[in-house]
Chain A
Amino acid sequence: MAAPIIEIESISKSFGAFQVLDQLSMQVMPGEKLALIGPSGSGKTTILRILMTLERIDGGHIRIEGEELYHMSKNGGLAPADEKHLTKMRQKIGMVFQLFNLFPHMSVLDNVTLAPILTKGVSRADARKRAMELLDMVGMSAKADAMPSQLSGGQKQRVAIARALALSPKIMLFDEVTSALDPELVEEVLNVMRKLAAETDMTMLLVTHEMGFAHDFADRVLFFDRGRIVEEGKPDDIFRHPKQERTQTFLRKIIAAGHRV
């Protein structure tokens, strides 16, 4: 059996007095598609943000492909990671945000080519060629010269996905990528993600309230509550036969709120 691509070892994280993650441990295998579900405040988004180095951990260890994320070897021991180490580690990881976070002052094409040109030394021509391929894949090549303000939410999110893919990360983090979208725009984004899952062997972590999509998309579902993993398993087991009472309650509420399972 292959080694896990992500190893999380008893990490903790508090915001002030509020403990978001409590001694959390989990592993993700290469190519695995993972859905993180649970009530808001349960810590699932925080895990993605920690993996993207947008939040620091208070304690514990994270290893990506066996290499420490927040620590580095120094004089035979471990020292806190410096910016250089974090920059190296971030190359393996990409993230798509709930609110797209596109750069509003740049065209769609420039949004996608900026990081490869600046961080990977890719030539402008090569970056554009690759960007057009990716925009084509997400169905946005016709809007390459548009500004983000001219796009719908679904279109913005598809551009944001192309932008993250342009750096060819091994791990992609999707943080509630359809939560800010009008209902009729959700499907176009989910379709892109289905395509990604089918066509690439990227490891994907998905925080979502789209239970139907999580069911079809994920190899494994983790149910979070109060900073801990309450239950995990195959999508069918979690969604059809949840064992824990908290999982059952959560799923009932979600279904009552009109989400498909």
Chain B
Amino acid sequence: MPPRSARSHFPQHGTKPFMIDWSGYLSLILQGAVVTVQLTVMGSILALIVAFIAGLGRISRFAILRWLATAYIEFFRGTSIFVQLFFAYFVLPFMGISLTPLQAGVLALGLNVGAYAAEVVRGAILSVGREQYEACTALNLSRWQCMRKVILPQALLVMLPTFGNNAIELLKATSVVSLISLADMTFQANIVRSQTGSTLIPFATILFLYFVFALLISFGVRALERHMARGLDGVRT
């Protein structure tokens, strides 16, 4: 059971001082961890989608698409995620768009990290050699067929390691949502801290959990990379 009332968990007179029942606090932090994972997964999905849209937009034949993509990328890279989050949660309601804290968090995180990932998409596509495009032309593939069947599958392999980094950045950035009172891991650790007076235990716990989540992302991406690189040469495995 999560402690609802902070006072009852403070050491009482007559009981042993400094003995705290941590199990309730741990479950509080684990509830926060679920929120952090939700934010990371949903934020990453949104980031991935906008990264491909903006990344392809950056290399589009159409100037207007290039311009829109560049504006998006520069804006979201050039402003603080903290401000973006506050904007999404506190300012958008004035424009008639009310978001839950979770929606605002996913939106700000996804768009922010998506801007960085868009540059990864663009760079990876440009890293595929000109000879692959020429083979497409010689085989009479359309631009889109070439992109979908030939260029993107090769570029994806180049993107993956950096996407892994982006996902870890996103994971770490989720802690800003505690500022709009979304009860993520950091938010809960602060609650525990204020209720128990201990900083070491809650923050060591979430430090460890963030690290484990980041490791999971790293391993996951590396496994995916190995899986996709089978049979290819010139790619690290």
Contacts and interface: CB of A to CB of B under 8 A. Distances in A.
B78 interface: no
Interface residues of A, number: 26
Given A104-B154, A105-B154, A114 B134 contact: no
A73 interface: no
A94 B232 CA distance: 26
Contacts of A114: 139, 141, 149
A167 B134 CA distance: 16
Contacts of B17: none
Interface string B76-90: 000000000000000
Interface in A26-66: 52-54
A97 B131 contact: yes
Contacts of A99: 131
B232 A87 contact: no
Contacts of A163: 139
Contacts of A87: 140, 142
B137 interface: yes
Given A118-B145, A167-B140, A104 B135 contact: no
A103 interface: yes
Nearest to B134: A54
Contacts of A91: 140
A103 B135 contact: yes
A138 interface: no
A149 interface: yes
A97 B140 contact: no
Contacts of A147: 231-232
A115 interface: yes
Interface of A: 52-54, 87, 90-91, 94-95, 97, 99, 101-105, 107, 114-115, 118-119, 147, 149-150, 163-164, 167
Given A53-B137, A87-B140, A91-B140, 13 more contacts: A54-B134, A90-B137, A95-B138, A101-B132, A104-B154, A105-B232, A107-B231, A114-B141, A114-B149, A115-B139, A119-B140, A119-B145, A149-B234
